[in-house]
């Protein structure tokens, strides 16, 4: 009993410290110092949550800019032993795990490239429009990928291409701290700015 009491005391003490005190302290500090980020970086329009600036969304309509392909999936509602495509499923963040020699991946990319070439014959298809990110949730595309889509979006909205191009350029985010990452465009923010432009 002499050896058991200190061991049990330490288990209870560390459970309280690491399982209760520390998480509450970190959560409290995050809510005070970074409330927007701690609550999911939610984007609110007219009092309604329309998404998160950290998680991509599937935009399929021609009048919107499209993000990167997403390889995330979800259980098939008809057969839980199988999965179905569920783009940008935050509960199942992952890549496709298909390698560069995978026929399924090659066929999918070739099909995507062919479809995008029909959309904009005069430009090279940016890589990020046909490749998924490692998480499958990336909310950003390169400025080149956004500019590639300008003719389609401008035509679908009956807007001058130059005006849509200016909007894209105004939405480009630079490197973090001037040196980390690459210039990028948040697709949700760009599409919201596009909707505001049409009003």
Supply the pLDDT for residue 199. Answer: 60
Angle between helices 187-198 and 150-157 (to 10 degrees): 30
| 189, 53 contact by CB (below 8 A) | yes
pLDDT of residue 182: 94
**Domain ranges, residue 135:** 43-198
Same domain, 47 and 35: no
Q: What pLDDT does 30 receive? A: 95
Same domain, 5 and 99: no
Residues 174-190: pLDDT tens digits? Answer: 998 888 999 999 999 99
Same-domain check for residues 23 and 77: no
Residues 110 and 153 in one domain: yes
Rounded to an integer, what distance in angstroms lies between the CA atom of residue 68 and that of residue 129? 5
Low-confidence ranges of the chain (pLDDT < 50): none
pLDDT of 186 = 96
Amino acid 122: pLDDT: 84
Count of CA atoms in the C-beta half-sphere (13 A) of 181? 13
Q: Bridge-partner residues for 180, per DSSP?
A: 176
Q: Are residues 6 and 84 in the same domain?
A: no
Closest CA to 141 of 63, 194, 30, 66: 66
- The span from the CA of 74 to the CA of 65, in Å, is 24
- List C-alpha distances in Å: 131 to 110, 143, 168, 191: 11, 15, 21, 21
Model pLDDT, residue 198: 63
65 and 9 both lie in a single domain:
no
Task: Examine the domain organization and report whether 56 and 16 are in the same domain.
Answer: no
Total number of domains in the chain? 2
- My answer on whether 66 and 85 are in the same domain is yes
How confident is the model at residue 92, as a pLDDT?
A: 79
Calculate the alpha carbon distances from 130 to 2, 113, 137, 138 in Å.
65, 7, 14, 13
């Amino acid at each position: 009993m002499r050896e058991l009491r200190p061991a049990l005391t330490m288990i209870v003490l560390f459970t309280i410290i690491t399982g209760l005190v520390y998480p509450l302290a970190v959560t409290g500090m995050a809510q005070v110092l970074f409330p927007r980020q701690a609550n999911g970086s939610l984007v609110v329009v007219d009092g309604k949550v329309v998404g998160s600036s950290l998680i991509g969304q599937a935009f399929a309509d021609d009048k919107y800019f499209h993000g990167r392909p997403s390889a995330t999936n979800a259980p098939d509602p008809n057969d839980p032993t199988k999965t179905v495509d569920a783009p940008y499923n935050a509960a199942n963040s992952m890549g496709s795990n298909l390698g560069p020699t995978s026929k399924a991946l090659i066929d999918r990319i070739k099909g995507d490239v062919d479809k995008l070439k029909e959309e904009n014959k005069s430009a090279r298809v940016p890589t990020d429009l046909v490749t998924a990110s490692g998480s499958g949730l990336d909310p950003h595309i390169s400025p080149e990928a956004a500019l590639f889509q300008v003719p389609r979006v401008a035509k679908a909205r009956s807007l001058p291409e130059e005006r849509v191009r200016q909007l894209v350029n105004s939405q480009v985010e630079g490197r973090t701290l001037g040196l980390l990452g690459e210039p990028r465009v948040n697709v949700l923010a760009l599409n919201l700015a596009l909707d505001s432009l049409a009003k």
